[in-house]
Structure 1
Amino acid sequence: MTESKNFWNWFTKNQTAYTFLASIDESVKEELLNNLLDQLHKYCDQLYFEIGGFPDEEQELVITAEGNKDYFTKVEELVSDAPSINGWSFVAFKQPTRDQFNSKWGDIELNSQDIWFIPLESKISTEIGIRVYVPNYDQIRENESSKPLLLKMIDTILGEKSFAEDLAYIEFESQVRDPEEDGQIPIIEHSNYIEWSKSKAV
């Protein structure tokens, strides 16, 4: 029996408990999540998960490599082996989001709708680069711990796989007064730009 089958056999037997995560005691919830991570790490110790939903809705289990391309195949293999379980959906990689959200760390707070970008062109490569314009970027740049959090926010917007595979280069600058007049594109439309760029390269 393959390691992925071992994981799914365990999950199938225990999945009912995970439909109540939103309403159970925190200590019980923590134990369930730790058990799930332990079982996942028996398959591959470089994979992680996100899980959510309410008892009367479909539950979702997202398997992620946290952007580590070396383990993308392991993610895809595990999800492709997932069984059909009523009330559950299984997703490979964190997906892009178009929903507005805020991120805050320390005194810095960013809204996803305030982040824009422009594509960068290369004379020697067809790979995609972007310059991302962020409000108060000077303040972020002064704090070394803020840069990884900003990258994590961009990863959340673009989706795990696209962020890792579709972007060869990313740089940041402070936002101008009128981004649209400056020719910038809202970052939440980046997936549309990726699709257009790929079709153009064919």
Structure 2
Amino acid sequence: MKQLACLVLLFCLGSHTLLRADNVSSITAQDPIVAFWTWFQQHQNRLRLFESDPGKYLQEIHTQVKKIGDGLTIELEPPQNGIINLTFSADGDQELFPLVRSIVDKAPPIKGWHFIAFRQRADLSRAKSMQLKVGTLTLDPQSMKFFPVVTGDTLDIIIYVKGLTQANYADVSYHGLLLLDNLLGEYDCVMKVRSYDFHPMPAKKEELDTLQPLLEIASYVDRFHASRKPR
């Protein structure tokens, strides 16, 4: 996420030669990521004004990002201390993860911008305030539970939801995964848990006592993988 259009200079053996425009076009044509960052640098000052019309500017950036690959998404955050966070996401598609990493790895340093690969975890205070409406049901992480299923070094997780039925299972599981994406962060949600399933909240106390609060899922996943790292 960053700054002014600048001349591209080729430094070679102490001398410097101006790259011809047709050479620049050739380079960017071969690498759509380079082409994106060239465009971004040329427009970054104007893009800093995105809060005046967020939808317009997000669409403009997304149009350019789509030239790199379908399925990529972006998120812009209001500036903090003069820094704007621009997040590139694979929207949970594992096959696009290397592409997201490549985009951020090739980002040029641009003052006032910070480029991030993958949607990040919500902090605990924000996680507590998250609620998703699914028909007449409200998914509230403060009232949801989880149970880890461990098979060797593999982790599967069952999520327990009050009011889950066969009729609303598809909607609840879809929105539940969106919630998990926020609680774990996009990368960990996909890469550190093999699968998720959603079950109705049990009524019996002895069953409830075996479950863990959903807000603690991130710390559990971290501990699980840390305990399996070679020492």
TM-score range, shorter chain: 0.7 to 0.9
2:192 paired with 1:166: yes
1:10-89 matches, within 5 Å, as 10-22=39-51, 24-25=52-53, 29-54=54-79, 57-89=82-114
Structure 1 residues 145, 197: closer, same or farther in 2, change over 3 A? closer
Alignment match of 2:132 (pick from 79, 103, 107): 103
Q: Mind listing any 5+ residue stretches in structure 1 that lack a counterpart?
A: none
| Aligned equivalent of 1:195 | 222
1-structure distance, mates of 2:34, 2:145: 43
Query: Which SS does the other structure have where 1:12 is aligned?
Result: helix
Name which of structure 1's ranges 186-195 and 77-86 shifts more when overlaid on structure 2. 186-195
Provide the aligned length of Structure 1 versus Structure 2.
194
Amino acid at match of 1:37: H
Encode CA deviations 1:79-132: one digit per residue, 9 max, x unaligned: 01112222211110011223221111332212222222121133xx42101111
| Aligned equivalent of 1:155 | 181
Amino acid at match of 2:142: Q
Structure 1 residues 181, 59: closer, same or farther in 2, change over 3 A? same
Query: Which SS does the other structure have where 1:201 is aligned?
Result: coil
1-structure distance, mates of 2:62, 2:80: 21
User: 1:19 Cα deviation (Å)?
Assistant: 2.4
2-structure distance, mates of 1:179, 1:87: 53
User: 1:17 Cα deviation (Å)?
Assistant: 2.6
Percent identity over paired residues? 25
Higher Cα Rg, which structure: 2
Q: What RMSD in Å do the two structures reach over aligned CA positions?
A: 2.3
Alignment match of 2:164 (pick from 122, 131, 137): 137
2-structure distance, mates of 1:147, 1:117: 13
TM-score (norm 2): 0.75
TM-score (norm 1): 0.84
Encode CA deviations 1:114-160: one digit per residue, 9 max, x unaligned: 222121133xx42101111122223xx41233431222222222111
Query: Which SS does the other structure have where 1:195 is aligned?
Result: helix
